[in-house]
Structure 1
Amino acid sequence: MPGGAGEKTEKATPKRRRDERKKGNVMFSQDVVAVATLFASYIALRFGIPIMVSALDEFIQYCFQVIGNVPNQGLNEVGSELASHMIGTVAKASALPLLATVLAAVVATFAQTKLLVSFEALRPKFNRLNPLEGIKRLFSLKSIVEVFKNVLKITILLILIYRFVSGSLLQFSQYMDSDIGVSLASMRDLGFQLLVEVGIAFVVISFFDYLYQRWQFERDLRMTKEEIKEEYKQTEGDPKVKGKIKELQRKMAQSRMMQAVPGADVVIRNPTHFAVALRYRPGKDVAPVVVAKGQDEIALRIVAVAEEHHVAVVENKPLARALYAGAEIGGIIPPDQYGPVAEVLVYIYKLNHKTL
């Protein structure tokens, strides 16, 4: 049945996203990184070719110079010098493109993962050794999309190369009669033109791949209703347990309240709906204090405890309602009730032959 308890139809919660991020599971498109490195390489080559040509020219001149000294130095010594110089030349010529490519890959990766560094993905996962799981991954939607994407990239690349070669054959044939410097400059420009066309095509592919990876990532993070309920229980506590705790706390508070009723001076009731127990100790209390209050069943229990311990019970409907609504347990009565309460206490004290 669609939308059933076992189907992942709900969006991932913030906690689920945080947990997956800790595991290194974030939205990531490899094609975005590939395009970033491609254009970084293009820019590096565009500005770095003079450096490469200079390094190569210097190396060639050095080679002719060393070859001329072979009779004097010996073949082994010359070979060692050439190898050392060649390594330096390669390092100098490739430093800028290599640095630009690495920097672009790092920036593109961290931009997508939001500076995430996680070693969870490096841990061995033995479930990947399961042939059945491998077959499932092989025929999964993600694998099919990856195959389609790779075929599309290869097809586009072949088409662009074919167009480039077929459109440049005439120009290539003219290089035989041209200056070598001019020919190399022309070939360089044609190569950069092809690189730009390939880059633009791959940008379009990477854009759609980014959208797909984002959709796939959100789809994989979806949760079932049961998973959300279980997560809520783990973070907020089981509602049933919390309800029982609140009920227990309420009963304990009522028990403490009932224990304070015997120490009250008077209980004002209405006559069954509300009951408020008051205590006043001259010199200790600045005003009468509410030691207990309740409604309906609790009001009847307060009255019963008061009568059992010979605490005076006075029926005053408006005063009982006002005290119940305006005073908290353990707090003094509202100032506007000082007069009516004082009258009740004076009456009670007269009956008990006490004085305020």
Structure 2
Amino acid sequence: MSQTPPRPPAGPPAPRPVPTSADVARLAGVSRATVSYVLNDASAVRISEPTRHRVRQAAEELGYVPHAAARSLRAGRTRIVLLPTVPVPVGRLMGHFLNELQWALRRLDYTVVQYASMGLDGDEAARAWAELRPVAVVAFGAAQLTPHGVDVLKRSGARAVITLGPQPVEGAHCLPVDQRRVGRCAGAHLLDRGYRRIGVVLPEEAGLEPLSGPRLDGVRQAVGGAGSGAVADVVPLPLAYTEEAAGALAARWPGLGLDAVFAHNDEYAMLLMRALLDAGVSVPGDTAVMGADDLLLGRLLRPRLSTVRIDMETGRHLAELVDHLVVEPDHAPEPRELMAARAIHRAST
């Protein structure tokens, strides 16, 4: 008796065909040009609202979305704004700024792409960014960009290259962001309050070096500008963001002879102030403590935390600058400071 041979195992299901604009046009009963006008929000062509609704409904039913690369080829450039990832921990202030920037760029019909650039330096990073053919690049911190890198980006089609950092880069539109200003504000405030030996916390947290070094320099500038003999010294204080490290620093505090400390930001200030109080060091009686960023939690502490409030341009303004430079790259406005800082006096100083 013959046996039926075993059936071979079923393979993976055949992939569903990718819907095209022609499919949408057939289902909606319109031309492919009409589909393109509707789905790309072309305002120069008058199309009735019922037709627009029919096209969008057909696209949704078929699962069709426009092909960004094909649209870019037709237009001659992409609508991509590339944001290389910030190489420092993003705090509340910067997080809000980035969210607002991305929202505003999207409202201006740009596609925002965040690019993880860790491990890429200088011209290597610029070449990697250029592969995506962005119409604009907004780089936070200019260390990775060189004049040659800017040229590579512009030759690949970038109409705007914007850097946010302390040093300009030839060929790019630079918005100054000088962290020394934060340190100068803190140092001047402590000097005005009569403190004459100031410690400055240097976080050991990876990625904060681009902020902590300039802030220390800013305190030193404030001290140097106050006249010779005004302050005995500015003392750097390396500190890890742990209770154990703060407790160890507080334990040797009496031997440091400091009457004030600028603790880099509010988070480190609150960590250190708690450790000092636990060690019996009075704040501000024995030592004044100052932070930066003006976090709400610092106002709820006792004593309330003195701080440096950082005021930044809104992300919407930066998005409008990107759009201006894309549309009119030869008519760039004058660069202006992106960040301002001012001291806020409270009970801890």
Q: Would the TM-score normalized by the shorter structure come out above 0.5?
A: no
Q: Which has the higher contact order (CA 8 A, sep 6+)?
A: 1
Q: TM-score, normalised by structure 2?
A: 0.25
Specify which structure has the higher proportion of helix. 1
